């Protein structure tokens, strides 16, 4: 009897174990189903390369190139800010800061990661946006630049936490070797430790990028939501995520516009899949 209960429980545990696979497959399958229905009528090439996004005009235009470029601008801007600061902070926290300070900083970074994006978006809207407008003397502060700055803060916790793990997992013997040869701590740090931790740091950067690409609320509130191809970082842009969030409420369920948003979701899913998969490969490298 006991044995029977045991085996039932173990079967349940197994099912829960493989549930993650089922969910990923379900999400992908669902996006594919709606996306395919859209592509059948509109075509993939025109969708990816079309430079006009007028989903409600007659005839509607579903070109997501401006949205892809919008996402690219914001992501690139956020990375330029978040990557150097994030990696340097990770170095400081893991190798330079005294132990007590380190623990406090680590907890602080964890708290940073918990701040909701809608809160970041709201604060950016009331403080940063008017500031950007007056400093750069442009018609509106709702730009890709403002979005990049706020998103950088959202990518930093990811970059710092994972880089810090990678730096701390560098074997002691590496450092001892360098220090024994008379290198200073800093020389050891940037010539040996940083190099050994590089795969992990690259993974951290990729995961940070993944977070920024998928970020929705803050981006929607700060970047101005203009679905046109931007020529500079100081113009309003609209990202793929913001398009889905802003327009889903107005669509007719099951219509072309509705399905086009699922098609954008599919593109986003594939991008983050590739980013996360690559990051995981790099993380696997550090463990060896």
Partner 1 sequence: MFNKRFLSPKVSQKISYAILFCATILAIIPVSIIVFIIIKNGASAITWEFLTSMPKDGMRGGGIFPAIIGTLSIVLCAITITLPIGVCAAIYLNEYAKDNLLTRVIKLAIVNLAGVPSVVYGLFGLGIFVMFLQLGVSIVAGALTLSIMELPVIITTARGALSSVPHSFREASLSLGVSRWQTIRHVVLPNALPGILTGAILSIARVSGETAPIMFTAAAFYVPHLPKSAFDQVMALPYHLYIISTQIPNMPRNIIFGTALVLLMMVLSMSLIAIIARIYFRKRRKW
Per CB under 8 A, contacts with partner 1 among 8-27 are 9-10, 12-14, 16-21, 23-24, 26-27
Instruction: Count other C-beta atoms under 10 Å from residue 88's C-beta.
Output: 12
Using the rule CB under 8 A, give the single segment among 50-58, 61-69, 226-234, 248-256 that binds partner 1. 248-256
CB of 58 to partner 1, least distance (A): 25
Q: Do 89 and 160 form a contact (C-beta atoms < 8 A)?
A: yes
Alpha helices by DSSP H, listed for the chain, are 2-42, 44-49, 65-91, 99-114, 117-123, 129-136, 144-168, 172-180, 185-187, 194-196, 198-214, 217-222, 240-247, 256-287
Q: Do 185 and 257 form a contact (C-beta atoms < 8 A)?
A: no
Q: Which is nearer to partner 1, 16 or 58 (CB)?
A: 16
Q: Does 36 bind partner 1 (CB under 8 A)?
A: no
* Of residues 271, 140, 134, the one with CA closest to residue 209: 271
Q: Does 80 bind partner 1 (CB under 8 A)?
A: no
Binding mask 192-231 for partner 1 (x = CB under 8 A): ---------------x--x--xxxxx---x----------
Q: Does 77 bind partner 1 (CB under 8 A)?
A: no
On the 0-12 / 13-18 / 19+ scale of CB atoms within 10 A, 233 is middle
Which of 32, 138, 233, 276 is the binder for partner 1 (CB under 8 A)?
A: 276
Which of 51, 176, 250, 280 is the binder for partner 1 (CB under 8 A)?
A: 280
CA distance 216 to 135: 26
Binding mask 107-146 for partner 1 (x = CB under 8 A): xxxxxxxxxxxxxxxxx-xxx-------------------
Q: Does 4 bind partner 1 (CB under 8 A)?
A: no
On the 0-12 / 13-18 / 19+ scale of CB atoms within 10 A, 144 is buried
Q: Which is nearer to partner 1, 103 or 232 (CB)?
A: 103
Q: Which is nearer to partner 1, 232 or 250 (CB)?
A: 250
Q: Which is nearer to partner 1, 7 or 232 (CB)?
A: 7
| DSSP state, residue 252 | P
Q: Does 100 bind partner 1 (CB under 8 A)?
A: no
């Amino acid at each position: 009897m006991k044995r029977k209960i045991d085996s039932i429980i173990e079967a349940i545990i197994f099912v829960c174990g493989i549930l993650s696979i089922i969910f990923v497959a379900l999400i992908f399958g669902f996006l594919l189903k709606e996306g395919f229905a859209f592509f059948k009528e509109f075509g993939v090439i025109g969708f990816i390369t079309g430079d006009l996004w007028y989903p409600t005009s007659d005839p509607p235009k579903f070109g997501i190139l401006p949205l892809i470029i919008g996402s690219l601008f914001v992501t690139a801007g956020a990375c330029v800010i978040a990557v150097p600061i994030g990696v340097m902070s990770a170095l400081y926290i893991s190798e330079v800061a005294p132990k007590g300070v380190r623990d406090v900083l680590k907890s602080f970074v964890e708290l940073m990661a918990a701040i909701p994006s809608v809160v970041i978006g709201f604060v950016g809207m009331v403080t940063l946006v008017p500031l950007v407008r007056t400093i750069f003397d442009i018609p509106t502060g709702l730009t890709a630049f403002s979005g990049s700055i706020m998103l950088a803060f959202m990518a930093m916790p990811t970059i710092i936490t994972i880089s810090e793990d990678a730096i701390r997992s560098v074997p002691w013997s590496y450092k001892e070797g360098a220090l024994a040869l008379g290198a200073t701590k800093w020389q050891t740090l940037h010539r040996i430790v940083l190099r050994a931790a590089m795969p992990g740091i690259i993974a951290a950067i990729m995961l940070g990028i993944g977070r920024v690409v998928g970020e929705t609320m803050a981006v929607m509130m700060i970047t101005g939501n203009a679905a046109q191809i931007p020529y500079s970082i100081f113009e309003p842009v609209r990202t793929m995520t913001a398009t889905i969030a802003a327009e889903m409420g107005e669509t007719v369920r099951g219509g072309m516009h509705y399905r086009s948003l699922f098609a954008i979701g599919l593109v986003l899913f594939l991008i983050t899949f590739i980013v996360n998969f690559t990051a995981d490969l790099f993380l696997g490298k550090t463990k060896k």
